[in-house]
Structures are given as C-alpha cells and as structure tokens.
Amino acid sequence: MQAMRQTRAITLATAAPEPAAYYPSNGAVGAEEAIPDIVIRRLPVYVRTLRGLRERGIRSVSSDALAGHIGVTAAQIRRDLSYFGKFGKQGKGYDTEFLAAAIARILQLDRQWRVALAGFGNLGRAITHYRGFAPSSFTIATVFDRNPDHIGQEINGLRILSDACLTEVIAAEDIRIGIIAVPAAFAQETADRMIAGGVRAILNYAPVVLKVPAMVTVREIDPVSALQSMTYYVNAAG
C-alpha cells in the first residue's frame, strides 16, 4: 500500500506499525532494539523528575516514591530501568544524581544537539525564543523560512536562512535533528529535504502524518488532535 511508513511516530499507536521488512536501523544494530519505544519515551520524564528532586536536595529515592511524583507505578519504573542495567541499591533506592546521569547518558543527553528549525511563523518564532531547549541538550542552530521578508533577519544571533538551501546547510553543519513548523502543505516536502541533508529525527508540529524511511524517527506535536480527543470525555452540560 505504501512505500514508506512513519517510523516510531508513535503518537497514536502503542507499537510501531512497522512491517518486518522495514526493520529499523537506528544507530547500533543487533541485540539492541529489544527495548520498546514506549520505554524510551518515558525516560525523559524520569530524568526531568530526578533532576528536580536533586535540585531540591533529595539525594535518594525509592521506585515507589519516584512513581508517586511521576504518576506511574513503581513496578513500571523498575521494569523500565531493568532494560538497561541495575541502578539501585536494595533497601535504599536510587541515587537521584547518579540515576539521572545514567538515563541521560542512555538517551545521549550528555552532549548538546544542534537542531534545524524550518518555519518562522507564529510557532517558529515561539520555538526560537523558547528558553527550555538549551538546558535540555538542544540548540537551535539554524532557522529556515520561505518568506523573503523573514530571510536575512537576525534573532538571538541567528540569521534566518532561505528555505532553498535547507538541505545543503543541514548537510554542511552536520545536523541530525529537525523541527518542522511550516504550514501543513509544505511539511512533507520539508521533511524529505531535511532527511536528504542528513536529519534522522524530526519533531513535527504540522498536522500531517509524515512518510519517512525507517532510519528516521518522527514525533508529532498535535495540540488540535489532543483537544479533539479530550472532548469525547467532556460532559458538555456538566
């Protein structure tokens, strides 16, 4: 039916609807990929929570206490961690700083990632000005737009570049992560060109299901769908 499928774009499905033939090849091959993506998606929350505890001076935490903060079960945390090794001390719990660093390392957050942003409309502007990316391991390295009025403009010491040279700049700068904040109609094309430049992970804000090769990971940010699914549960006259 389709030649390309979204990979790990698991906003909607529990498991990747990936045909066996398109087996992913993310980084290392072999025994890896036994770890469910849903586990990987929970790890950032663990890191964030552990860092928060650490900042509040809490040096040690049990899986039960951590579960309470995050809103999952203690068994789930222990099971998730067991995919990667043994991080706790029996009878004691986990060292918050140590565990945060260990998970961050697993996620490759122990370095800074340069990110390419496509689209400098309302959303792109908000993303550019957002202060939360830098401390989370991400630096907006380049911004692209189609609008000639925007091109050449300077923001945060970043010059907005023409969309036309997106592939080339991404390749030249060796960027592996892209954020798509362009109108829906241009999203697929932008994704294709990012991937051609070497991007292997895409954060997609456009309300479009991107078709990408198996080596590329996509996550959708879709506030409209989120709202539209919540209305199912809201009792209108309440």
Partner DNA sequence: AGGTGTGAACGTATTCACAGCG
Partner DNA sequence: CGCTGTGAATACGTTCACACCT
205-234: contacts with its own copies (CB under 8 A): 207, 209, 211, 217, 219, 221-234
Backbone angles phi, psi at 237, to 5 degrees: -95, 95
Q: Specify the residue, 38 or 164, whose C-beta has the smaller distance to its own copies.
A: 38
- Least separation in angstroms between residue 230's CB and its own copies is 4
Which span sits near its own copies by CB under 8 A: 71-79, 92-100, 139-147, 159-167? 71-79
230 binds, among its own copies, DNA, none (CB under 5 to 8 A by kind): its own copies
Distance between CA atoms of 170 and 24, rounded to whole angstroms? 23
> Which DSSP helix (H) or strand (E) runs through 179?
strand 177-180
Please tell me whether residue 180 binds DNA under the rule CB under 7 A: no
The pattern of x and - marking residues 76 through 115 that bind its own copies according to CB under 8 A reads x-----------------------------xxxx-x-x-x
Structure tokens, 180: 């798509």
Q: Specify the residue, 38 or 172, whose C-beta has the smaller distance to DNA.
A: 38
134 binds, among its own copies, DNA, none (CB under 5 to 8 A by kind): none
Which span sits near DNA by CB under 7 A: 66-74, 124-132, 153-161, 222-230? 66-74
Asked whether the beta carbons of 31 and 58 are under 8 A apart, the reply is no
Half-sphere exposure of 158 (CA within 13 A, CB side): 21
DSSP state of 55: H
3-class SS letters over 49-117: HHHHHHHCCCCEECHHHHHHHHCCCHHHHHHHHHCCCCCCECCCEEEHHHHHHHHHHHCCCCCCEEEEE
Report the interface residues with DNA, using CB under 7 A: 13-15, 17, 36-39, 62-64, 72-76, 78-79, 81-82, 86-94
